[in-house]
Amino acid sequence: MRLPLILLASCTLAAAAPAAEPVASVIMVKACTPLPAEVPFDVKPMGIEPGWEMAFLIQGEDLVAIKDESLEITALALAGKDVTNSRSGKPTWKMGSFPKASEDGKYASFTVEGQDALIGRMDQLTLAGTIVVKIGGELVTSASTPLSPGDAAVTLAGFTVSVDKSEGKKGMFGGDGQGITVTGPLADIAEIAVTVDNKKINSQGWSGSGDSRTYNFAKATGKFVVTLKTWKDLKEVTVPLAFGKAAAPAKK
């Protein structure tokens, strides 16, 4: 018995729209079928995940980030049948990980993932929804007063900033490190830098979730000055999403 593995991976790129408002277009669709449990790992195609995935490209000006948890799918239909939710009422879709915005602010991308195996049926899928992007055209630089590890947190550019106690702390890649914890609307931050005695300390990545994040820096002795570059007058814009041909009203 022959089993289809991966079918339908296509890419297109729409020309930039002259309108000032950002616009979204589908640039990739992928569909995978479930594999039998006994298929050996070394036989499985790389990247195969049962279900489907759709990538959108947003084009505009001064794009900063895609707002967390802002994706809304208002209609999802397969051959005219509503498949937005499962029988238990849970969404059959979710936003993919790691949405991105380009350094020049002209592009952003994200993915939508679905549960159904749609090999040979992606042309029957229709999708409508919205997503929110953050737009900002000017950066503001703010620096903290000198801080020692364990000092009380300070407010900086609308964020809460603290230098963590360093005893026994390990960096992201082993060895001693220094954590700087920042709480607030993290997508508004374009850059974070730390100096000790006017010497810039090397960044070693970050960890965290929600609106709190610990930025890890190389171990240093002295007082720390935290500098944030944030977006001024950041605004949110709702961008409509669409895929597939116009269809009759979805049937329950």
- H or E element, residue 84: none
Contact 148, 77 (CB under 8 A): no
Task: Name residues of the chain where pLDDT drops below 50.
Answer: 1-8, 16-19, 168, 173, 246-252
Position 128: which residue type?
A
Cα(176)–Cα(213) distance, integer angstroms: 19
Cα(93)–Cα(84) distance, integer angstroms: 7
Instruction: Give me the pLDDT at residue 15, please.
Output: 52
Of 224, 161, 165, nearest in space to 195 by CA = 224
Contact 81, 250 (CB under 8 A): yes
Q: Where are the domains of the chain?
A: 6-136+235-243, 138-232
Instruction: Give me the pLDDT at residue 18, please.
Output: 45
Instruction: Give me the pLDDT at residue 170, please.
Output: 53
Whether pTM > 0.75 for this model: the answer is no
- Residue 47 CA, chain-centre distance (Å), reads 19
Q: What is the pLDDT of residues 86-143, one digit of tens each?
A: 889 899 999 998 899 998 999 999 999 998 777 778 888 999 999 999 998 888 999 9
Using alpha carbons only, give the angle 149, 152, 154 rounded to the nearest 5 degrees.
105
Cα(76)–Cα(53) distance, integer angstroms: 13
Question: In Å, what is the CA distance from 240 to each residue of 107, 146, 237?
Answer: 15, 45, 10
Please write down the HEC assignment for all residues of 94-116. Answer: EECCCCEECCCCCEEEEEEEECC
Of 212, 73, 26, 58, nearest in space to 135 by CA = 58
Of 151, 149, 218, 158, nearest in space to 182 by CA = 158
Position 129: which residue type?
G
